[in-house]
Amino acid sequence: MCRSPGCHHRSGPPRTSRRPGPPCRSGRPGRSWTPAGESARSHPDRVAVVDADTRLTYRELWARALRCAGALRASEVRPGDRVAVLLPNTADFLYAYYGALADGATAVPVHGLLVADGVAYVLRHSGSSVLVSGGPLWPVAE
């Protein structure tokens, strides 16, 4: 069972329905339960991310994810939408991934080694309404 107050979402195998179910709500308007958010509440000052010279606590990771969630909301991403994330294996991927979850969307990780046709296939078949990309993978996204 999800740990969000009042939520009856059960973890387990994905649903077979083609329509996404309602996002798991945390009791705070506009926010869904995520592991990063829970970690930020239970041990905010522990190190969550080490990326090159960057070290972030769970509190800092969650704050950046919430900023990303706000940007997604401003781009008209709504709970239940799918957000494709095509970013290198860096802290930026975590911000986008957890930001999508915090906004109630479904994050769709897209493998960075796919060529443009493979990315297009994933985007077409995932039903993603938005693609978050940048850095060295931006040319593939275009």
Q: Where on the phi/psi map is residue 97: left (φ > 0), alpha (ψ -120 to 50), or beta?
A: alpha
pLDDT in tens, 80-134: 999 999 999 899 999 999 999 999 999 999 998 999 999 999 999 999 999 999 8
The per-residue pLDDT of the chain, averaged, comes to 79
Any domain includes 13: no
94 inside domain: yes
Quote the CA–CA distance of 103 and 98 in Å, as a whole number: 9
- Looking at the 3D structure of the chain, how many domains does it have? 1
User: Does a structural domain hold residue 132?
Assistant: yes
Tell me which residue range forms the domain holding 78: 35-141
The CATH number assigned to the domain holding 45 equals 3.40.50.980
Average pLDDT over residues 5-22: 35
Q: Is residue 108 part of a domain?
A: yes
- The pTM for the full model equals 0.73
pLDDT band at residue 29 using 50, 70 and 90 as cut-offs: very low
pLDDT at position 16 is 28
**Average of pLDDT values for 25-54?**
75
